[in-house]
Amino acid sequence: MKSTYRALYIFAISLAAALAAILLGAVVLEILGKDPLAVYKVILTEPLKDLFGLTEISVRMVPLILVALGIAISFRSGILNIGAEGQIQMGVIAAAAAAIYLPPLPKIVILPLVLVAGALAGAIWASIAGWLKAKLNVSELLSTVMLNYIAAQLYGFLLRGPMIDPAELQVGSGTPQSVRLPKAAWIDRIIPGMRLHYGFVIAIVLAILVYVFLWRTKWGYALRAAGAGPKAARYGGIKVETCLIAAMALAGAFAGLAGAIEVTGLHRRAIEGISSGYGFSGIVVALFGGLHPAGIVPSAFFFGLLLIGADMTQRIMSVPANMVLVLQGAVILSIIAAKMLIADQYLFERFARMLEKRGRKAAGGKTKAGAGKAGAAKVDRRREQP
C-alpha cells in the first residue's frame, strides 16, 4: 500500500517538476513574443520527424553519453569531475596528433591507436586533479576548473601554432584548425549521406561495460565503496586515495575518448570549439540519468533532442538557439527541487495521509449512509488543515 503511494508521490513530484520547467521556459518565450506551445512542439517533435533529425540526435548523443559515463564513475567514487571540457580538448589534440604524425598504417592498427591516444591524454589530464586531491587534499572542483582554462589555452595555442594546417598559412586565412586527418584514422559513417558514425556503437557498448564494471566487478565495488563511505572503505582495506586517482583517470579517459571520437568520426580535423560545451552538458546528462548507464542513455537522447530542437526552432521560428540553455537551466533547477521534495519524508507522509483519507472516504461512501459520510468528511477536513 505504502509503496503504491510512494510511486504515486514520485510520479506527482516529477510531473510537477516537468510542468515547472515548461512553465519557466514559457515565461521567457512569452517575453520574446513567441508562442510557447508552438515552440515546444517544434523542439520536441520536429527532430523526430525524419531520419536526418534522428541521426543528428544520435550524433550529439555520442559525446554526451561518453562524458556522462565518466562523470558517473567519478561522482560514484566520491570525486566531482567538472573538468571534462578540458579533458575532451586534450583528447582531441592527442588523437589528432597521433593520426597526423604516426607513419601510415592500416586502419585496423591506426584507428585504435588514435582512440587510445585520446583516452590516455584525457586520463592523464584528469589524473592531475585526482592526484592533487589524494595527496594534498586540493578540492577537485577548483583544480578541474582551473585545468579547463589551461587546456583551453593550450588547445588554442596548438591550433594556431604548431598544429595549424599549412594550407591556412599559405592562403592567409589563418583559420585555427589542423590538417585533415588521414582517411585511415576516420571512423566510418553508418548511413550514407548522414553524419551518424560508428562512434555511436562504441558509446552504447561502453555504457553496458560501465554498468558491468561498476556493479559486477570487485574494482567497481571498491570505487563505489570509496565514494559511498570512505571511512568504511578504508576500514575494509580499500585504498581510498588510489580509488580517487583511478576514478578521475577513468572519467578523464571517457572524456578524452569523446574528444577522439568527435575528431575522427565527425569533424575529421581538430577545429576550434570542438568540445561545444559537452563537458558541462555531460554533467547534466549524468545527473539527470541518475548516475547510472541505463539512465544516461535515455537522458543523452533527451538532451540531444533539445539541442537539435533548438537548432530547428532557430531556423523555423527564429527563436535564438540560446533559448535551449534557458530550458536546460530550468530543467536542472526543477530536477534538483524535485529530488529534495522526493527525499522529504514529512511531505510524503502528508501526501500519503491525504490519499489514504480520500481512499477511505471513497470506500466509506459506498457502504455508509449519506449523513454519516458528510459528518466524517467534515471531521477529516478539519484535521487535515495545516
Q: Please, which of residues 226-255 interact with another protein by CB under 8 A?
A: 228-229, 231-239
Q: Is 1 in the site for another protein (CB under 8 A)?
A: yes
Minimum distance between the CB of residue 289 and another protein, rounded to whole angstroms? 18
Q: Please say which residue, 76 or 268, places its beta carbon nearer to another protein.
A: 76
Listed in sequence order, the DSSP H helices in 77-139 are 84-101, 107-136
DSSP character at residue 319:
-
Q: Is 219 in the site for another protein (CB under 8 A)?
A: yes
Q: Is 217 in the site for another protein (CB under 8 A)?
A: yes
Residue 381, Cα to own-chain centre: how many angstroms? 45
Distance, in Å, from the CA atom of 35 to the CA atom of 26, rounded to the nearest integer, reads 8
- CB atoms < 10 A from the CB of 23, how many? 12
Q: Is 218 in the site for another protein (CB under 8 A)?
A: yes
C-alpha cell of 86? 578540458
Listed in sequence order, the DSSP H helices in 289-369 are 293-317, 323-343, 345-367
Which of 13, 8, 17 minimizes the C-alpha distance to 352? Answer: 8
Q: Please say which residue, 128 or 238, places its beta carbon nearer to another protein.
A: 238
Q: Please say which residue, 366 or 383, places its beta carbon nearer to another protein.
A: 383
Burial class (CB in 10 A: 0-12, 13-18, 19+), 145: middle
DSSP character at residue 271:
B
Distance, in Å, from the CA atom of 37 to the CA atom of 60, rounded to the nearest integer, reads 25
Q: Is 363 in the site for another protein (CB under 8 A)?
A: no
Minimum distance between the CB of residue 350 and another protein, rounded to whole angstroms? 9
With CB under 8 A as the contact rule, which of the stretches 63-71, 222-230, 314-322, 359-367 interacts with another protein? 222-230
Helix axes 51-76, 278-288, angle to 10 degrees: 80
Q: Is 222 in the site for another protein (CB under 8 A)?
A: yes
Q: Is 353 in the site for another protein (CB under 8 A)?
A: yes
Minimum distance between the CB of residue 177 and another protein, rounded to whole angstroms? 42
Q: Give yes or no for a contact between 278 and 64, defined as CB atoms under 8 angstroms apart.
A: yes
Minimum distance between the CB of residue 2 and another protein, rounded to whole angstroms? 4
Q: Please say which residue, 217 or 322, places its beta carbon nearer to another protein.
A: 217
Q: Please say which residue, 220 or 259, places its beta carbon nearer to another protein.
A: 220
- What does the DSSP assignment read for 17-64? HHHHHHHHHHHHHHHHT--HHHHHHHHHHGGGSSHHHHHHHHHHHHHH
Q: Is 221 in the site for another protein (CB under 8 A)?
A: yes
Q: Is 360 in the site for another protein (CB under 8 A)?
A: no
Q: Is 137 in the site for another protein (CB under 8 A)?
A: no
Minimum distance between the CB of residue 134 and another protein, rounded to whole angstroms? 15
Q: Give yes or no for a contact between 260 and 94, defined as CB atoms under 8 angstroms apart.
A: yes
Q: Please say which residue, 267 or 357, places its beta carbon nearer to another protein.
A: 357
As a dihedral over the C-alpha atoms of residue 117, residue 223, residue 128, residue 100, rounded to 10 degrees, the angle is: 10
- The b-or-e profile of 180-217 (16+ CB within 10 A means b, else e) is ebbebbbbebeeeeeebbebbebbbebbeebbebbeee
Q: Is 2 in the site for another protein (CB under 8 A)?
A: yes
The only residue of 224, 244, 259, 327 in contact with another protein, by rule CB under 8 A? 224
Q: Is 343 in the site for another protein (CB under 8 A)?
A: no
- CB atoms < 10 A from the CB of 38, how many? 14
Minimum distance between the CB of residue 140 and another protein, rounded to whole angstroms? 21
Query: How many residues line the site for another protein (CB under 8 A)?
Result: 27
The only residue of 316, 349, 354, 375 in contact with another protein, by rule CB under 8 A? 349
25 φψ region: left (φ > 0), alpha (ψ -120 to 50), beta (else): alpha
Q: Give yes or no for a contact between 126 and 87, defined as CB atoms under 8 angstroms apart.
A: yes
Minimum distance between the CB of residue 51 and another protein, rounded to whole angstroms? 39
The only residue of 151, 225, 266, 291 in contact with another protein, by rule CB under 8 A? 225
Minimum distance between the CB of residue 231 and another protein, rounded to whole angstroms? 5
Q: Which residues bind another protein (CB under 8 A)?
A: 1-3, 212, 216-219, 221-222, 224-225, 228-229, 231-239, 349, 353, 383, 386
